[in-house]
Amino acid sequence: MNARGKRRVFARSFAIAALFLMCCASALRADPIVFSDPLELLPTGTISYGGGSDPLVGYPVHLVGGLGTGQLNFETGDFVGMSGGDLIFGGTGPDDFIQIFGTVPDAHVLGPPTPLLLSGTVLGAIVDPQVGTIKLGLELGAGNDTLNPELLAFFGLPATSRFVFTTVLFTPVLDVQDDGSFDGKVISTTVTDYPVPEPSSLALGFTIVVPIMFWLRRTGWKRTT
């Protein structure tokens, strides 16, 4: 299969998994919870990749939205490969994680110390160094997480609720080096949390994407070193 075909397979699988998980969320009859900062006028957050099998790392990406203020940190699993100029990162590394620390005054989630609002693991991420002809780079990610108990109570959700999340981060065009590495500032961030009915549904949704990623790698998907 050529690179375009493999990219379509991955994109289709990722979309199917996302749709499945959103359907699970709708079964719980709860709206998604959104952490966002539509535009960083003075960006302070960074996403970076060191080349080789290194993960994608984000730190500290500031969030100033309707919920309150926060800071996003994440690390994916190892770099998996490239397809059509996009860099693909898995979610199987021992240290992959996502966290949001922050305060939500309306929910009485306050510091000090700054409370942990969201904590989870990363399923995978795709980075497009330049989206078409516009002067922006794009990161898309997904995974599973849990939320601060007081935040759950504020939204009227059970303490045992579990979630899947998607991340959308925009950067200026990323200057990818010969070894594939890059370092860029984040100018816009959205993390959307979708409630799911039970962990078994969550695990089933994840199995749609992860085997596809490894299949593409075994069948000759381009990997940089």
DSSP H or E run through 164: strand 162-171
Q: Is residue 225 part of a domain?
A: no
Of 82, 78, 80, 79, nearest to 3 (Cα)? 82
Does 85 fall in a domain? yes
Is the per-residue pLDDT at 46 higher than 90?
yes
Task: Specify if 142 maps to a domain.
Answer: yes
Residue 143 covered by a domain: yes
Tell me the per-residue pLDDT of 68-83, one tens digit each, with 9 for 90 and over. 888 999 999 999 888 8
| 109 Cβ contact list (under 8 Å, min separation 6) | 68, 102, 103, 115, 117, 148, 150, 151, 154
Residue 223 in any domain: the answer is no
Helices 199-218 and 3-27: angle between axes, nearest 10 degrees: 180
SS3 160: coil
31 found inside a domain: yes
Q: What percent of the chain has pLDDT over 70?
A: 68
* Chain CA centroid to CA 43, Å: 18
The pLDDT-based confidence of 134 (bands split at 50, 70, 90) is confident
For residue 129, name the pLDDT band (cuts at 50, 70, 90).
very high
In a domain, 214, yes or no: yes
Number of domains in the chain: 1
Q: Nearest to residue 13, comparing CAs of 225, 214, 223, 185? A: 214
Q: Is residue 166 part of a domain?
A: yes
For the segment 4-40, what is each residue's pLDDT rounded down to a tens digit? 454 444 544 554 455 455 455 444 446 889 888 766 5
> By residue range, what is the domain housing residue 114?
3-218
Token pair 């000090």 is found at: 112
Residue 214 has pLDDT above 70, yes or no: no
In one-letter notation, the amino acid at residue 101 is F
> With 60 as the cut, is the pLDDT of residue 167 above it?
yes
> Can you give the pLDDT at residue 218?
45
d(CA 82, CA 7): 9
Cα 175 from chain centre: 21
Cβ(45)–Cβ(185) under 8 Å?
yes
